[in-house]
Amino acid sequence: FQEEGIEVPRALASGPSAFIPAKEDILIESFLSLGRVDHLTMVMALHPSYLSCFLRIQHALFELDGPLPRDWRHYVSAAARHHCSYMVQQHSKAFLEAGGEESWLSGIKHAPVKLRSLHTLNKLLAHRPWLITQQHIQELVCAGAEPRWSLAELIHAVILMAHTHSLCSFVWGCGLNPEPDHIGGYAFHPPSPAHEDGRQELVDGAVEVEVLMKRMVELQQQQEEECTQEEMVTRFERERSESIPTAVVRGAPPELVLCLVEEPEFRYEDFAPRGEQSPPIMRAQDYSWEDHGFSLVQRLLPDMGQFLDEEFQVVSNLTYNRMAMHEDVDTYTLRKALWNYIHCLYGIRYDDYDYGSVNVLLERSLKVFVKTMACHPEQTTASTYHAFWRHFRHSEKVHANLIVMGARLQAALLYTLRSITAYIK
C-alpha cells in the first residue's frame, strides 16, 4: 500500500479523469486556495492520487454552482452526528464566511424549517441508512410537503451529509489534531506512553505480516474452487452476525457540537443483532452504484455522479504493490475484503463474493478498528489504531482508512438513492 517511490504526472487536475498532480503541486494549490494546508489535507497527501480527486469533489460540492446556497451547504455539513469537533469547527467557520446567520450555530432550532426537516434523514444516513424508505423521501419532496425540497436540492444535501459522515470516520480514524484556530488547537498533546514490550510487539507484528501474506497467496490459489450459492449466503450471514465489540464511549462532546445535534442518543445498531429479525438485505445485483446510483446522481446533479464515481474508482484501485516490508505484492484480495466487509456491516451482499475471505484476511483487531471507524467513529481510540497491522507503516493504515471512508459513503448513498429511485417510479 505504501506511497514511496510512486511517480505521478506533474500537472494540475481540473476535472474528473484529469492527470494526477504531484504531491507538492497539490499542497501548493491547496495553500493558494485556502490560505493554509490543513491537517486533513496533509494526511491525505500520503496518497496524492486520492487527495487530487477528493479536492475536486470538495470544490464541486461547496464552490461550484448548484441547487443549494453556499452557506446552507456548510450548515448541512456541520451536522454533528458523530461528535466530530474538527468537522463542526471547519464548516461552522466556512458557514459564517459564506454569509450564514451566526444564530443558526447556537442551535438547530434557529435554522429555517426547511433545513430542520432534514433531521430524520440525516440521523438515518449517519447511523442506520438501511432504514431509509421511499416514505422519507416523499415527506420532503412531494407537492404537499411544506417547505418542499426539489429532487436536485435533496440529492445535493444527501451527498453533503453522507460525505461529511464518512469524513468524520476518517478524522477519528486517523486521530487528526485540531487546527491551530480550533478550540484546543494550541493545547499540548503528550505522546502515547511507550510499551515496555515494544521489541516483542515488533517481532509479533512481523509474524502477522508473514501469516497474512501466506493467506493471501492461498486465497488466490483457491479462487478456482467452486462454492455453492447456499454456502456463499451462509458465509455472508456469519460475517454479518459476528459479534465485534467496539471501543469505550468517550465523554460528552463540547457544547459547540451538542447544540447542533438532535436526538444524540440515536446511534448505530447492528444491521441484524444476533437472534433478531433482520431488515431485507440489499443485494448488489439488484441495486448498485454502477448500474443505478451513478446515472441517478448524474441526472439530478450533473457532473457530481462523475466526481463520485472517480472517487470510488480511485480508492478501490489504489495500490502500490507493497505491503509492510514486502514488494511486488498483489493486494487486491485484501482491499476487496475490507470494502466488502464494510458493506456487509451495512447489510449489502455481493452474490459473487466469497465472504469466507473476510474471515481469513481480516484479523480480529482489524475488524474491531474497521467496525468502530465505520459505525461508531467517535469511539475510535489510539489503542484501536495501534492494535492492528502493527508492522505496517502509517501510510498503509491511512490507506485502510480511505477504503473504509469510501465504502461507507457508497453504502449510505446506495440506500438513499434506492429510495429516491422508488419515489420517482
Check residue 115 and give its pLDDT. Answer: 95
Residue 84 catalytic? yes
Mean pLDDT along residues 174-198 = 64
287 burial class (0-12, 13-18, 19+ CB within 10 angstroms)? middle
Check residue 265 and give its pLDDT. Answer: 84
301 pLDDT exceeds 80?
Answer: yes
- Rounded to whole angstroms, the Cα distance separating 17 from 80 reads 32
Long-range CB contacts for residues 247-254, cutoff 8 Å, separation at least 24: 247/368, 247/372, 247/376, 247/379, 247/380, 247/381, 247/383, 247/384, 248/379, 248/381, 249/379, 250/83, 250/378, 250/379, 253/80, 253/83, 253/85, 253/378, 254/85, 254/183
Cβ atoms of 65 and 149 within 8 Å: the answer is: no
Give Cα 189 distance to the centre of its chain: 26
Check residue 17 and give its pLDDT. Answer: 44
**53, 84, 344, 375: which is the annotated catalytic residue?**
84
Check residue 2 and give its pLDDT. Answer: 35
**C-alpha grid cell for residue 218?**
492461498
Cβ atoms of 10 and 23 within 8 Å: the answer is: no
Closest alpha carbon to 253 in 23, 12, 87, 26: 87
194 pLDDT exceeds 90?
Answer: no
398 pLDDT exceeds 50?
Answer: yes
Check residue 192 and give its pLDDT. Answer: 42
Single pTM value for the model: 0.86
Q: 3-class DSSP state for residue 282? A: strand
Average pLDDT score, the chain: 85
257 pLDDT exceeds 80?
Answer: yes
6 pLDDT exceeds 50?
Answer: no
Confidence of residue 191 (pLDDT cuts 50, 70, 90): very low
Amino acid letter, 87: M
**C-alpha grid cell for residue 84?**
466530530
Confidence of residue 173 (pLDDT cuts 50, 70, 90): very high
237 burial class (0-12, 13-18, 19+ CB within 10 angstroms)? middle
Closest alpha carbon to 156 in 239, 250, 19, 62: 62
